[in-house]
A and B are shown apart, each in its own frame.
Chain A
Amino acid sequence: MKRCLLMLLCCLPAAAQQRRSSFEDMARETQALQRDDATNPAMLWVQEGEALWSGAAGAAGFSCASCHSAAETSMPGVAARYPAWDDARGAPIDLAGRIAQCRAERQGAPPLDRESPGLLALSAYVGLQSRGLPIAPPDDPRLAPAVAEGAALYAERRGQLDLSCAQCHDDNAGRRLGSSTIPQAHPTGYPLYRLEWQGLGSLQRRLRGCMTGVRAEPFRYGAPEYIAIEAFLMRRAAGMAMETPAVRP
Chain B
Amino acid sequence: MARVLINIPREIHAGETITIRTLIQHGMESGYRPGADGNVVPRDILRRFTARFDDEPVFAAEFSPAIAANPFLSFTMVVAASGTLTLRWEGDNGFDQTETRRIAVA
Contacts of B70 in A (CB 8 A): 41, 44, 198-199
Q: From the candidates B3, B21, B28, B68, name the one contacting A47 in the complex (CB within 8 A).
A: B3
Q: Does A43 contact B (CB under 8 A)?
A: yes
When distances are taken between beta carbons in the complex, the residues of chain A under 8 Å from B3 are 44-45, 47-48
Query: Is B7 interfacial (CB 8 A cutoff)?
Result: yes
A39 interfacial by beta-carbon distance below 8 Å: yes
Verify if B98 is at the interface (C-beta below 8 Å from A): no
Taken together as a complex, chains A and B put the C-alpha atoms of A44 and B27 apart, in Å, by 12
- Chain B CB count within 10 A is highest, among A39, A41, A43, for A41
- A44, B5: Cβ atoms closer than 8 Å: yes
Residues in A114-145 with C-beta less than 8 Å from chain B: none
The reply to whether B69 and A38 form a contact with Cβ atoms under 8 Å apart is no
The number of residues on chain B lying at the interface, defined by a beta carbon within 8 Å of a beta carbon of chain A, is 14
B77 contacts partner chain A, Cβ-Cβ < 8 Å = no
Chain A residues whose CB sits within 8 angstroms of the CB of B68 once the complex forms: 198
List chain B residues, Cβ under 8 A from A41: 23, 25, 69-70, 72
* Cβ-defined contact, A198 with B69, below 8 A: yes
A43-B27 contact, Cβ under 8 Å, with A38-B7, A198-B69: no
A43 to B3, CA, bound (A): 10
| Contacting residues of chain A (19-61) with chain B, CB-CB under 8 angstroms | 38-39, 41, 43-45, 47-48
Query: How far apart are the CA atoms of A35 and B28 in the complex, in Å?
Result: 24
Say which size band chain A's interface belongs to.
10 to 19
- Measured CB to CB, the closest approach of chain B to A40, in angstroms, equals 8
Q: Which residue of B lies closest to A48 (CB)?
A: B3
> How many Å lie between the Cα of A43 and that of B25 in the bound state?
10
A53 to chain B, nearest CB (A): 14
- Asked if residues A43 and B5 are in contact (CB atoms below 8 Å), the reply is yes
Q: Hey, what's the 0/1 contact readout for B65-95 against A, CB within 8 Å counting as 1?
A: 0001110100000000000000000000000
Chain A residues with Cβ under 8 A from B4's Cβ? 44
Please measure, in the bound complex, the distance between the C-alpha atom of A47 and the C-alpha atom of B3, giving whole angstroms: 7
| Residues A39 and B25 in contact, CB atoms below 8 Å apart | no
CB distance from A54 to the nearest CB of B (A): 15
Question: A45 CA to B70 CA in the complex, in Å?
Answer: 11
Contact of B23 among A39, A48, A198, A199 (CB under 8 A): A39
* B5: chain A residues within 8 A (beta carbon): 38, 43-44, 47
Tell me, in angstroms, the Cα distance from A237 to B30 when the chains sit together: 38
Considering only CB atoms, which chain B residue lies closest to A41 in the complex? B70
CB distance from A203 to the nearest CB of B (A): 21
A110 to chain B minimum Cβ distance, whole angstroms, is 20
The CA-CA distance from A48 to B25 in the complex, in Å, is: 10
- Min CB distance, A85 to chain B, in Å? 34
Task: Give a binary string over B17-47; 1 marks a CB under 8 Å from any A CB, 0 the rest.
Answer: 0000101110110000000000000000000
In addition to A44-B4, A198-B28, 4 A-B residue pairs with Cβ atoms within 8 Å of each other are A44-B3, A44-B24, A198-B70, A199-B27
Which A residues have a C-beta under 8 Å from some C-beta of B?
Answer: 38-39, 41, 43-45, 47-48, 198-199
